[in-house]
């Protein structure tokens, strides 16, 4: 494919990594949700571009699903949940911004090295897209690990899933049925998490993990 | 011929040291000894410069001294000539400075005999060509500088400084001894010429690298073996501090280069990674430590640690390029490191001389008790400013040139095939840039609190200008800083024989470049013209000044400071060194030094003022040395039982040792 | 003949940035005022301010030294030399090979070094506040800038600004990820270095919120005029840098004929207008950060620069 197609795909994938870093930096809930919406939007754009370049019309559907569900429905619903539960709107972090960013850079370097070594003979666009996708997955995991707030962890899980979708589209083709099942599983997971959040909030008046820890069975 | 001159100079210095023991207490002794040292250093400098600039062949000589079956080998090649220039230039300026400064010395008989001996020791290390001579001169250098550190033993911190210095120096020499032992091999080939023709295996070479990093590195001051440096360097008299910081650390770098680049054979792929990582960490930690200090000489000593880090980054890059066969890039990195060696010896000596001048004028080393010295000591303030600007890597002075060359070397590194290097070099580049920016912050603090503002104590109010010898030494160094910044091409060409000898390639000839600029790689890629930048700045400044004085009003009147309408008469309200460093301490120091501020409030009824105290902890002491000391104590207590054995048990020990040695001999031979 | 032409062009570049700098500052202030539904001062107000300042007496504090009087000239000289080396309407300036990007950053750094010393000179606590905060910001902004320069140098194969600008204008450069990261990082660094919102407020009157203004609090008369002009020059330098690196359309290549220079200058003025408008818009829509959030902001810029360089090192095509 031409140089420009390559570059735009690259740029969108890199933008996704950048937005993952931006999510790591946020410490207010609404800003985090808006950043996540942006993340899903860029994912939709990236998948749509892949559909255009690879001439695979079913990927347009994936892009539409990403756009509608992940960029609009989920952030709006989470927003409503936060308002209704009255959740504390500042996200406490386990590690500070500086070490988290440094760890993020280390993870990106690691995924670069791993992916470029492992996929030695493959198509260059796919290789580097996979490297970026692994970075997004690892950054999503990092976000889950360094957040005290349950909503923050949910967003981390979501962005991890976005990374997986990027990897799947980059690897040339994902049948629609798989995507529908993935979307439904995400929806169900989201509903379950939402229900749990409601119950937790009802019982304990907080969703802060450190406060919840004191209610666990084993005492230290 | 030039080697003979160098050796004769060293011998005369030793004789001078002996002479100083005799005349130490007389009044003219200071002038005589320092004057003679200066002349001898000048002669040696000329000889070394002739050798290096003439790109002469290496000269060697063997003297029938020392160990009988070995003799004492000496050799003057390009690397030795360069470091000899550094040593002699430092010695020259220090002796010139001491002609004035030495008059204020209260115990000259403790300093004068050891000073020429120290110079002789450093000279002999640089020209030594076998392991025994090298180690003997190295230890001689350490012991004479220890004696100089202990020249005022009544001050308790000097005693501790001397003790730590002695322990670290001995430990370093032990490491070097082991390194040379490994390189000499079972055949006992102690002469360097023999080591060169029989390169060691990769494991031996790796062990030699580690041991050299420990031995020479601790003398140079790499983190975490730097702890003696900020204790010992400030304790010595100021001209000796300048020599220790500016010159002795470079002799340690020479030792490292001689072993790793010359004697240890072909380098493995991971050697440069270790050197680069250590260099990067040293650079940043050094400057962060310096920012937390308010003692002027201790700040300068910690800053030396940072610059040694920068030099090791250059050397690590050179090693990386050399290992992967990129000779041209290796020459660039090596030249950058060596140029920084030269530049640092210039401006660090200048800064220590300035600190010495301030110390004699005010009796204070603590910046919190100084201030406003620019009015009382204008010339010292001017040359100190030149030194601060040079060390902060500001164009058009020399600090910028070596840093620019190091950056250009970093930009050549994507071509390296090793993955570890591909990940490490950009990180090291970021650390280098960070340390450069922090260094500028450090020297704004040092200069601003010491020389600018208003005097904080009476000592600062009554300071007077230093004598003309000290000023002459400082002006000489400041002029050299400017020249090295404006005409860097000459210095780069002078270093070409060194890189040819060690790497086999050299940087392109700089002399012919347009308008005396330097072109390290190719004209289309990058170039820098110090002279033109300097002229440009003068012309712009001059244009602005003439336009202003033609078009603007030239009236000026003095008034109390504006200070937003509430001028405070007391100079105590000015920013102090600790308050200046507070933002940086909060950003960087909270994690690294566990920097915490707490307020000590006196109980009600007590009329003492409340104090804001900053707690810092040194990670090197807490993590490395304190456990080590505890461990040694525990081991010593356990081993103490060996004192109380019976005669039969002692005999058993001797018998057991003999049997083990015989076994080893049987197995190994 | 060629030398005379090149010399004229270099001189024209120097004078162009010098005369446009106050106009640019006035334009940004006008945009901000209009967005806040105010009339705002006239566009030429900075020129009038400079003239007014030069006609006033210099009131020097009792404890100020000779260094205090010399520093405005030093800062102006360093900033003007740096600004003359950034290509605005034409690359291949006569003296562009004497200082590359790293040297330009170092020149700005020396301007900042001396300005911080000026803050310490009079011996008041406000000067100390300004200087200590300024060096903290610089200690993070400068490494970020150098990492961005590394990224650009690795992509364009040179640190010489003219070469980089010509490379960016050529079709060889693609839409690279590292360039995107470098752009974001450079904008963040430019905001920090010029003391704009959200890092510092150039229009504040509250001393405890000042960084740059606190350092120059004691300056008056012609000295203050030089310092204000230097700040305007620095702002226009950064906008020109962003324009020549990331929006190089319209920059004439070296050796172009003289009539096409009009096109180059028009393109440059257009870019300045767009840049000024965006800056005014950005400053109006965001609030100033607490001082100790600035290290996080600049730390993010440093991380972006490091990430961009790392991507270039690890895989040549990023």
How many Å apart are CA B603 and CA B113, to the nearest integer? Answer: 54
Q: Are the C-beta atoms of C280 and C191 separated by less than 8 Å?
A: no
Backbone angles phi, psi at B57, to 5 degrees: -70, 150
How many Å apart are CA C75 and CA C146, to the nearest integer? Answer: 21
Q: B407-432 pLDDT, tens per residue?
A: 999 998 888 888 888 889 989 999 99
pLDDT confidence bin for A184, thresholds 50/70/90: low
How many Å apart are CA C101 and CA C155, to the nearest integer? Answer: 14
How many Å apart are CA B408 and CA C150, to the nearest integer? Answer: 9
Return the SS3 of A122.
coil
Chain B and chain C share a number of CB contacts under 8 A equal to 288
Q: Is the pLDDT of residue C152 over 80?
A: yes
How many Å apart are CA B400 and CA B412, to the nearest integer? Answer: 19
Which tokens go with B248?
């002795």
How many Å apart are CA C107 and CA C95, to the nearest integer? Answer: 15
Give the closest of C95, C132, C158 to B532, CB-based: C95
User: Roughly what angle, to the nearest 10 degrees, separates helices B114-127 and B131-149?
Assistant: 150
How many Å apart are CA B441 and CA B445, to the nearest integer? Answer: 6
Give the closest of B378, B430, B537 to C302, CB-based: B430
Give the closest of C175, C299, C307 to A8, CB-based: C175
Higher pLDDT, C174 or A52: A52
Which tokens go with B336?
């950058």
DSSP state string for B307-334: HHHHHHHHHHHHHHHHHTT-HHHHHHHH
B592 contact C CB<8A: no
Angle at C109 between CA C304 and CA C123, to 5 degrees: 120
Q: What ipTM did this prediction achieve?
A: 0.94
How many Å apart are CA C145 and CA C101, to the nearest integer? Answer: 10
Which tokens go with A12?
């969108």
- Cβ neighbours of residue C212 under 8 Å, at least 6 residues apart? C115, C130, C134, C195, C200, C202, C231
Cross-strand pairs, B559: C61
How many Å apart are CA A120 and CA A108, to the nearest integer? Answer: 18
Q: Strand pairing of B556-559 and C58-61?
A: parallel
User: Roughly what angle, to the nearest 10 degrees, separates helices B398-411 and B296-323?
Assistant: 30
Q: Strand pairing of B72-76 and B59-63?
A: antiparallel
How many Å apart are CA C132 and CA B418, to the nearest integer? Answer: 41
> Which chain C residues are within 8 Å of B571, Cβ to Cβ?
123
Higher pLDDT, B24 or C136: C136
Give the residue among B354, B390, B544 at the shortest CA–CA distance from B463. B354
Q: Is the pLDDT of residue C318 over 70?
A: no
- Cβ neighbours of residue B4 under 8 Å, at least 6 residues apart? B61
Helices (H) and strands (E) in chain C, counts: 11, 1
Cα separation values, B460 from B33, B437, C179, Å? 31, 29, 53
Q: Are the C-beta atoms of B564 and B435 separated by less than 8 Å?
A: no
> Which chain B residues are within 8 Å of A113, Cβ to Cβ?
419, 423
Cα separation values, B234 from B92, B161, B296, B360, Å? 20, 9, 9, 14
Q: Is the pLDDT of residue A162 over 70?
A: yes
Instruction: State residue C133's pLDDT score.
Output: 93
Which tokens go with A219?
């005492």
> Which chain A residues are within 8 Å of B423, Cβ to Cβ?
109, 113
Q: Are the C-beta atoms of C274 and C281 separated by less than 8 Å?
A: no
Neighbours of A, requiring at least 3 CB pairs below 8 Å, are B, C
Q: Are the C-beta atoms of B436 and C105 separated by less than 8 Å?
A: no
> Which chain A residues are within 8 Å of B591, Cβ to Cβ?
98-99
User: Cβ separation of C313 and B444 shorter than 8 Å?
Assistant: no
B396 contact C CB<8A: no
Cα separation values, A67 from A59, A62, A174, A182, B647, Å? 12, 9, 17, 15, 89
DSSP state string for B608-636: SPPEEEEE---HHIIIIIHHHHHHHHHHH
Give the closest of B385, B553, B587 to C295, CB-based: B587
Q: In chain A, pLDDT over 70 holds for what percent of residues? A: 85
Helices (H) and strands (E) in chain A, counts: 9, 0
Taken in order A47, A53, A56, A61, is the CA torsion positive or negative? positive
B514 contact C CB<8A: yes
Q: A105-152 pLDDT, tens per residue?
A: 988 888 888 887 777 777 776 777 888 898 999 999 888 888 777 778
> What is the signed CA dihedral for A86, A87, A89, A93, rounded to 10 degrees?
170
How many Å apart are CA C35 and CA C40, to the nearest integer? Answer: 10
How many Å apart are CA B462 and CA B460, to the nearest integer? Answer: 6
Neighbours of C, requiring at least 3 CB pairs below 8 Å, are A, B
How many Å apart are CA B370 and CA C119, to the nearest integer? Answer: 17
pLDDT confidence bin for C255, thresholds 50/70/90: low
How many Å apart are CA B529 and CA C95, to the nearest integer? Answer: 9
Burial class (CB in 10 A: 0-12, 13-18, 19+), B438: buried
Which tokens go with B182?
């490994």
pLDDT confidence bin for A188, thresholds 50/70/90: low
Q: In chain C, pLDDT over 70 holds for what percent of residues? A: 97
Return the SS3 of B412.
coil
Cα separation values, B563 from B165, B559, C68, C217, Å? 47, 12, 15, 7
Give pTM, 2 decimals. 0.90
To which H or E segment does residue C252 belong? none
The DSSP 8-state label assigned to residue A68 in this structure reads I
User: Cβ separation of C177 and A13 shorter than 8 Å?
Assistant: yes
Distance of CA C312 to the CA centre of its chain: 26
Taken in order B155, B160, B165, B166, is the CA torsion positive or negative? positive
Cross-strand pairs, C193: none
Q: Are the C-beta atoms of A88 and A204 separated by less than 8 Å?
A: no
> Which chain C residues are within 8 Å of A6, Cβ to Cβ?
174
Return the SS3 of C3.
helix
Q: C43-99 pLDDT, tens per residue?
A: 999 999 999 999 999 999 988 999 999 999 999 999 999 998 888 888 777 777 788
Cross-strand pairs, B525: none
pLDDT confidence bin for C105, thresholds 50/70/90: very high
User: Cβ separation of A101 and C180 shorter than 8 Å?
Assistant: no
Instruction: State residue B68's pLDDT score.
Output: 78
Q: Are the C-beta atoms of A160 and A141 separated by less than 8 Å?
A: yes
Weakly modelled stretches of chain B, pLDDT under 70: 512, 514-515, 523, 669
Give the closest of C174, C311, C314 to A3, CB-based: C174
Give the closest of C176, C181, C315 to A116, CB-based: C315
For testing contact with chain C, the best of B419, B518, B537, B543 (most C CBs within 10 A): B537
Q: Are the C-beta atoms of C228 and C50 separated by less than 8 Å?
A: yes
- Cβ neighbours of residue A71 under 8 Å, at least 6 residues apart? A37, A40, A41, A44
User: Cβ separation of A109 and B419 shorter than 8 Å?
Assistant: no
B393 contact C CB<8A: yes
Give the residue among B464, B140, A77, B574 at the shortest CA–CA distance from C218. B574
Cα separation values, B663 from B188, B660, B668, Å? 21, 5, 8
- Cβ neighbours of residue B133 under 8 Å, at least 6 residues apart? B66, B72, B73, B74, B124
Q: Is the pLDDT of residue A178 over 70?
A: no
């Amino acid at each position: 494919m031409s140089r420009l197609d390559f570059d735009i795909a690259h740029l969108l994938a890199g933008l996704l990594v950048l937005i993952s870093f931006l999510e790591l930096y946020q410490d207010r809930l609404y800003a985090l949700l808006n950043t996540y919406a942006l993340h899903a939007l860029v994912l939709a754009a990236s998948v749509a571009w892949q559909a255009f370049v690879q001439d695979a019309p079913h990927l347009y559907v994936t892009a539409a699903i990403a756009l509608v569900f992940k960029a609009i429905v989920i952030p709006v619903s989470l927003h409503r949940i936060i308002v209704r539960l009255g959740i504390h709107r500042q996200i406490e972090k386990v590690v500070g911004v500086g070490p988290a960013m440094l760890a993020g850079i280390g993870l990106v370097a690691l995924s670069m090295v791993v992916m470029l070594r492992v996929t030695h003979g493959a198509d260059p666009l796919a290789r580097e897209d996979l490297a970026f996708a692994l970075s997004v997955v690892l950054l999503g995991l990092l976000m889950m690990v360094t957040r005290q707030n349950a909503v923050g962890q949910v967003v981390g899980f979501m962005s991890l899933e976005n990374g997986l979708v990027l990897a799947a589209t980059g690897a040339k083709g994902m049948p629609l049925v798989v995507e529908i099942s993935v979307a439904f599983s995400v929806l169900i997971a989201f509903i379950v998490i939402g229900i749990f959040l409601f119950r937790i909030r009802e019982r304990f008046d907080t969703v802060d993990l450190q406060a919840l820890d004191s209610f666990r069975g084993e005492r230290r | 011929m030039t080697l003979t001159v160098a050796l004769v100079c060293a011998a005369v210095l030793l004789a001078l040291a002996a002479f100083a023991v005799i005349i130490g207490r007389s009044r003219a002794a200071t002038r005589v000894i320092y004057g003679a040292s200066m002349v001898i250093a000048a002669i040696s400098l000329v000889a070394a410069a002739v050798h290096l600039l003439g790109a002469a062949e290496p000269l060697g000589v063997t003297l029938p001294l020392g160990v009988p079956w070995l003799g004492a080998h000496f050799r003057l090649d390009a690397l030795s000539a360069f470091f000899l220039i550094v040593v002699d230039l430092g010695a020259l300026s220090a002796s010139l400075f001491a002609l004035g400064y030495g008059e204020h010395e209260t115990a000259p008989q403790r300093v004068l005999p050891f000073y020429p001996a120290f110079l002789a020791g450093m000279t002999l290390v640089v020209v030594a060509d076998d392991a025994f001579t090298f180690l003997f001169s190295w230890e001689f250098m350490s012991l004479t500088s220890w004696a100089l550190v202990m020249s005022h033993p009544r001050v308790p911190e000097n005693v501790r400084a001397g003790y730590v210095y002695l322990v670290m120096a001995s430990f370093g020499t032990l490491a070097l001894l082991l390194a040379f032992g490994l390189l000499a091999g079972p055949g006992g080939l102690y002469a360097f010429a023999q080591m060169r023709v029989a390169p060691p295996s990769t494991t031996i070479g790796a062990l030699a690298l580690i041991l050299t990093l420990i031995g020479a590195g601790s003398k140079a001051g790499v983190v975490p073996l730097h702890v003696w440096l900020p204790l010992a360097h400030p304790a010595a008299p100021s001209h000796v501090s300048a020599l220790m910081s500016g010159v002795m650390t470079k002799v340690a770098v020479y030792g490292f280069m001689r072993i790793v680049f010359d004697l240890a054979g072909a380098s493995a792929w991971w050697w440069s990674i270790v050197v680069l990582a250590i260099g990067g960490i040293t650079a940043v930690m050094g400057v962060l430590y310096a920012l937390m200090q308010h003692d002027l000489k201790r700040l300068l000593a910690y800053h030396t640690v940072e610059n040694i880090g920068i030099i090791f980054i250059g050397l690590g890059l050179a090693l990386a390029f050399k290992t992967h066969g990129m000779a041209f890039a290796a020459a660039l990195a090596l030249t950058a490191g060596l140029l920084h060696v030269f530049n640092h010896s210039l401006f660090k000596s200048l800064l220590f001389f300035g600190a010495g001048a301030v110390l004699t004028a005010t009796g204070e080393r603590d910046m919190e008790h100084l201030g406003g010295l620019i009015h009382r000591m204008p010339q010292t303030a001017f040359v100190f400013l030149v030194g601060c600007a040079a060390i902060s890597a500001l164009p058009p002075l020399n600090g910028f040139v070596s840093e620019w060359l190091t950056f250009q070397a970093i930009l050549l590194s994507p071509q390296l095939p090793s993955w570890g290097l591909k990940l490490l070099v950009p990180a090291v580049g970021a650390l280098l840039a960070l340390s450069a920016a922090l260094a500028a912050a450090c020297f704004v603090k040092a200069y601003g609190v010491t020389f600018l503002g208003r005097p904080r104590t009476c000592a600062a109010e009554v300071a007077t200008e230093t004598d003309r010898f000290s000023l002459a030494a400082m002006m000489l160094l400041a002029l050299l800083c400017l020249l090295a910044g404006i005409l860097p091409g000459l210095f780069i060409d002078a270093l070409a024989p060194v890189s040819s000898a060690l790497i086999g390639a050299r940087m392109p000839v700089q002399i012919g470049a347009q308008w005396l600029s330097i072109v390290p790689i190719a004209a289309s890629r990058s170039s820098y013209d110090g002279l033109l930048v300097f002229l440009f700045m003068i012309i712009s400044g001059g244009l602005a000044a003439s336009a202003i004085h033609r078009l603007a009003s030239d009236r000026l009147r003095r008034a109390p400071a504006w200070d937003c309408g509430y001028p405070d008469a007391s100079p105590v309200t000015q920013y102090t060194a600790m308050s200046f460093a507070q933002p940086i301490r909060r950003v960087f120091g909270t994690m690294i030094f566990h920097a915490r501020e707490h307020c000590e409030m006196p109980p009600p009824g007590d009329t003492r003022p409340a104090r804001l105290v900053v707690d810092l902890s040194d990670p090197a002491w807490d993590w490395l040395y304190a456990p080590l000391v505890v461990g040694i104590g525990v081991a010593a207590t356990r081993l103490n039982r060996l004192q109380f054995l019976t005669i039969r048990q002692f005999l058993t020990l001797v018998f057991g040792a003999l049997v083990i040695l015989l076994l080893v001999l049987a197995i190994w031979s | 003949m060629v030398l005379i032409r090149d010399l004229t062009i270099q001189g024209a570049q120097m004078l162009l940035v010098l005369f446009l700098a106050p106009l640019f500052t006035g334009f940004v202030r006008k945009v901000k005022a209009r967005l806040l539904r105010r009339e705002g001062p006239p566009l030429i107000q900075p020129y009038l301010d400079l003239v007014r300042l030069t006609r006033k007496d210099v009131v020097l504090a009792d404890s100020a030294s000779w260094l205090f009087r010399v520093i405005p000239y030093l800062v102006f000289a360093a900033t003007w030399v740096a600004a003359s080396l950034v290509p605005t309407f034409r690359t291949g300036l006569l003296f562009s090979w004497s200082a590359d990007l790293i040297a330009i950053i170092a020149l700005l750094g020396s301007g900042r070094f001396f300005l911080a010393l000026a803050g310490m000179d009079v011996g008041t606590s406000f000067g100390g506040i300004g200087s200590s905060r300024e060096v903290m910001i610089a200690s993070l902004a400068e490494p970020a800038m150098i990492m961005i320069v590394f990224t650009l140098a690795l992509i364009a194969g040179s640190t010489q600004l003219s070469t980089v600008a010509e490379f960016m204008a050529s079709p060889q450069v693609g839409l690279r990820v590292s360039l995107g990261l470098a752009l974001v990082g450079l904008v963040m660094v430019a905001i920090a270095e010029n003391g704009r919102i959200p890092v510092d407020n150039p229009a504040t009157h509250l001393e405890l919120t000042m960084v740059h203004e606190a350092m120059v609090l004691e300056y008056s008369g012609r000295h203050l005029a030089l310092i204000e002009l230097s700040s305007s020059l620095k702002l226009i330098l950064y906008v020109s840098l962003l324009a020549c690196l990331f929006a190089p359309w319209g920059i004439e290549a070296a050796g172009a004929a003289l009539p096409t220079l009009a096109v180059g200058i028009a393109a440059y003025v257009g870019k300045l207008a767009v840049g000024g408008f965006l800056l005014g818009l950005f400053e109006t829509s965001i609030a100033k950060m607490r001082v100790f959030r600035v290290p996080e902001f600049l730390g993010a810029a440093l991380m972006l620069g490091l990430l961009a360089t790392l991507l270039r090192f690890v895989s040549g095509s990023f």
